[in-house]
Amino acid sequence: MKQISLGGTSLNVPQIALGCMRMNSLSLNETTSVINTCLENNINFFDHADIYGEGDSEKLFGAAVKELKLDRESIMIQSKCGIRDGFYDFSKEHILASVDGILKRLDTDYLDVLALHRPDSLMEPEEIAEAFSSLQSSGKVRYFGVSNHGPMQIELLQKHINQKLVVNQLQFGLKHAGMVAYGMNNNMENEVGIHRDGGILEYSRLKEMTIQAWSPYQYGYFDGVFLGNPKFESLNQVINEMAEKYGVTDTGIATAWINRHPANIQTIIGTMNQQRIKDIAKASEIELSRQDWYQLYQASGYHLL
C-alpha cells in the first residue's frame, strides 16, 4: 500500500482509507471482520463523522477495536463534526461537545484528525481557534482539517487558528472530476471551464493540504454508482478493458485513476464488502500510464480541446 504524507506532516497514511458511514448496518462480528480485512491489506486509516448512523457507526467501531484488542497507535481515526439537524454549527461550544461525544462513542482518548464537516456560513474563526487550541492542548485531537471547503474559507480559518489544516474532503472521481476538468479549459467560454471550486486542487497542492476523495464511484450527488451502470456503457467498457490490462477489477481502475494524480489524493472508500476492499487495495500496486489516465478521463464524458 502506497503511503503518503498527510498534509505535509510527518504523519504517513495509506493512500486508501475506509469510510465508515455505512458501518452501522453491520453486526459486531461483521465489523471486526471488515476492520481485520482492512488491516491485512495495510489500510489502517478510518474516517468517521458524528452523524454517521446517528453516532452508531462510531459506537460499533469502538466496540470492534476493543474486541480485536488493537493497539490504538496501530490505527488512525478521523472524525468530523459541524452538521446538526437543519443547520451547521462551528461554534466553540458545539465543537468541544461534539469531540467529547465522538471520543466516548469510539471509546478512545484521542482523534488523529478532526475535520469540520460542511462550511458554516456563520462561523467565527476566533471561536474555532479557541476550540482547536483547547482540543490540541488537552491531547484530544492531534491534527485538524476541513471537509467540502473552498480556498477562501480555508484561508479565513487559517488566518486565525494556530494549527495547519492538513486535509480537505472533497467529492472526486471519474464522474465528478470538475477539479481537473476546469483546469484544462482555462480561457474557454464553455460550461466545464467555470471555476466552481476556486481552484481547490491547485490550492491544495500549493498549501500541501491532502485532498480526501469521498464517494469516488458515485455520479452526481449520491445519484448512484457509475461502475457497471448501463447509463455509462462506454465508460465501463474502457474501465473493463483497463481492468483486464492491469489485472485488477473495475473498482480498482476507478481508484487507480484517482491515485495517479500527482496531488497524492487519499481515496476514502465506503464499501463494507470485504472482497471489494481487497480489490481496491490491490489498485495501490499499479500506476496508470499517462495515456490510459487521459483515455479514462475522456471516456467519463470530458473532452480535450
Active centre residues (catalytic): 52
Rg (CA), the chain: 19
Question: At 231, which amino acid appears?
Answer: K
Q: How far is CA 305 from the centre of its chain?
A: 30
Distances, alpha carbon 96 to alpha carbons 63, 68, 74, 103, in Å: 23, 29, 25, 11
